[in-house]
Amino acid sequence: MTSLATTKKTTPSRERLNPLIWLVIALFLFVMVFPFLWILITSFKPGAEIYGRDTAFRLIAVNPTIDNYTTVINKGILDAVKNSVIVSLITTLYVVFVASMSAYIIARFSFRGKRMLMGLILGISMFPQMIIIGPVFNMFYNLKMLNSYWVTMAYSTITLPSAVWIMIAHFKRIPLSVEEAARIDGCSQWQALWIVIFPMAAPGVFTTAIMTFIAAWNEYLLTLTLNSDKAYHTVPVAINALRTQFTILWGEITAATVLVIIPTLIIVLLFQRQIVSGITSGAVKE
């Protein structure tokens, strides 16, 4: 009786906390979403309202316009989007393939220097880009690979280490008995990997692909350094170029940001369950 009475007393107090919790969550979401909302609002404002004393902080433009979108399209922002898509897709395919092969070997086989190799991979992922940009530029210059889509090879240096670590966690979750059963059924090592193991590690592969794509999509320094030709500029570099000697063209920058954020936003919204599943499925050792 005492425990029941205690339960009845504590239950209403928990229910009274729910509105407060929801209020905190709503406030947090508003703070997170507001910058994107403000970018969208600003993209439809003419320059006079963006810099005007009385109109700069209006939530709704007095004279909304799409001139900012027209201007950035005429300046070639869609070409930058095309370059980003090409570079990001090539980088993703290359990194996923190499990371899968490397992670499978590290997760499945024991060999001398394995711990040192894993530590080296982790250490490489922590290198600041400013340290490697000089040697990478010299290598690309000597190989005559500047101003080309070969920049994807440089992108792999910053995305491959983390991709290998994610894939190792997922390959370790797959029981070795599954692979042994495939070998007994007549599969070779290669067939067991691609027919049995690789599909079972699909959540990790998918997560690695999405994270690699987004990292390549947002990369700025490597493209700016290796591809000085405007024809090969990607989205971050193209947006950074929307300025004059004395003015930052905020209207054009916000319009370009809205245009280029659409592909990554669609990917995240469509595949958010797979992304979360891939991240969490490798978090617990079974």
Residues 135, 75 within the same domain: yes
Residues 60, 151 within the same domain: no
Domain total of the chain: 2
Query: Got the DSSP string for 110-163?
Result: --TTHHHHHHHHHHHHT--HHHHHHHHHHHHHHTT-SSSTTHHHHHHHHHHHHH
Q: What does the mean pLDDT of the chain come to?
A: 82
For residue 155, being part of any structural domain is answered with yes
Residues 241, 126 within the same domain: yes
Q: What number of CA atoms fall less than 13 Å from residue 189's CA on the CB side? A: 5
Residue 53 reports pLDDT greater than 80: no
Q: At what angle do helices 151-173 and 202-218 cross, to 10 degrees?
A: 150
Give the pLDDT mean for 149-165. 88
Query: How far are the Cα atoms of 59, 75, 76, 77, 252 from residue 45, in angstroms, in the given order?
Result: 10, 19, 21, 19, 10
Q: What residues have CB less than 8 Å from 225, skipping those under 6 apart?
A: 133, 136, 137
Residue-level pLDDT at 12: 47
Q: Which of 65, 93, 125 is the last residue of a domain?
A: 65
Among candidate residues 116, 119, 102, 217, the one with its CA nearest the CA of residue 163: 102
Alpha helix stretches (DSSP H) within 44-61: 47-51
Residue-level pLDDT at 286: 47
For residue 5, being part of any structural domain is answered with no
Residue-level pLDDT at 281: 54
Which residues constitute the domain of residue 202? Answer: 71-281
Residues 138, 222 within the same domain: yes
Helix (H, G, I), strand (E, B) or coil at 271: coil
- Give the separation between CA 116 and CA 234, rounded to whole angstroms: 36
Residue whose structure tokens are 């990607």: 234
Residue 232 reports pLDDT greater than 50: yes
Residues 60, 87 within the same domain: no
Residues 52, 94 within the same domain: no
- Give the separation between CA 190 and CA 194, rounded to whole angstroms: 6
Give percent of the chain with pLDDT exceeding 70: 88
Among candidate residues 284, 264, 283, the one with its CA nearest the CA of residue 216: 264
Residue-level pLDDT at 94: 94
For residue 3, being part of any structural domain is answered with no
For residue 4, being part of any structural domain is answered with no
- Give the separation between CA 136 and CA 131, rounded to whole angstroms: 10
Query: What does the pLDDT look like over 2-29, one tens digit per residue?
Result: 444 444 444 444 445 577 888 888 899 8
Give percent of the chain with pLDDT exceeding 90: 15
For residue 10, being part of any structural domain is answered with no
Residues 58, 82 within the same domain: no
- Residue 135: which CATH number? 1.10.3720.10
Query: What does the pLDDT look like over 162-206, one tens digit per residue?
Result: 888 888 888 888 888 888 888 888 888 778 878 888 888 887 888
Residue 159 reports pLDDT greater than 60: yes
